[in-house]
């Protein structure tokens, strides 16, 4: 079992930056591929970024490619999402998730989820 706790959300102006963190419990963090998803008001949850177990492979949604960077520190049981050049349309609750099999983009493939952290980008 893995417990995930996100942090780092907040209010930022358009063009600004935030770094989200997701701390995982347990000693098997490196056994999981990790992903970030987001859900805006009135919309379905959508994929943002994912990273493989070792951190050697990453994948991004087209909407964030070139602006967001996912990374992980297996020694600290933490995955990060660096968000630059933020836009109002990035406003959402951001969730991290753990996948016991492989890097994935579909939320149904993830086994564990955090509670989410709110990111609000003002124009």
105 CB neighbour count, 10 Å cutoff = 16
Lowest mean pLDDT among 19-23, 25-29, 47-51, 81-85: 25-29
Q: Using one digit for the tens of pLDDT, what is the confidence trace for 24-64?
A: 997 789 999 999 999 999 999 999 999 999 999 999 999 99
Rounded mean pLDDT, 67-72? 98
**Torsion sign over Cα 74, 8, 89, 13:** negative
Tokens linked to 88: 């109002």
pLDDT band at 1 (very low <50, low <70, confident <90, very high): confident
> 45 CB contacts (<8 Å, ≥6 apart)?
37, 38, 39, 95, 107
């Amino acid at each position: 079992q893995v417990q995930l706790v996100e942090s780092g959300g907040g209010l930022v102006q358009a063009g600004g930056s935030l770094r989200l963190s997701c701390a995982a419990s347990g000693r098997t963090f490196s056994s999981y591929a990790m992903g970030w998803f987001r859900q805006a008001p009135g919309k379905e949850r959508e994929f943002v970024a994912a990273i493989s177990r070792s951190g050697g492979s990453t994948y991004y949604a087209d909407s964030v490619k070139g602006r967001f960077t996912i990374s992980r520190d297996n020694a600290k049981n933490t995955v990060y999402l660096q968000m630059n050049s933020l836009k109002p349309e990035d406003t959402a609750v951001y969730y991290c998730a753990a996948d016991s099999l492989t890097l994935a983009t579909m939320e149904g493939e993830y086994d564990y989820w955090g509670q989410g952290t709110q990111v609000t980008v003002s124009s």
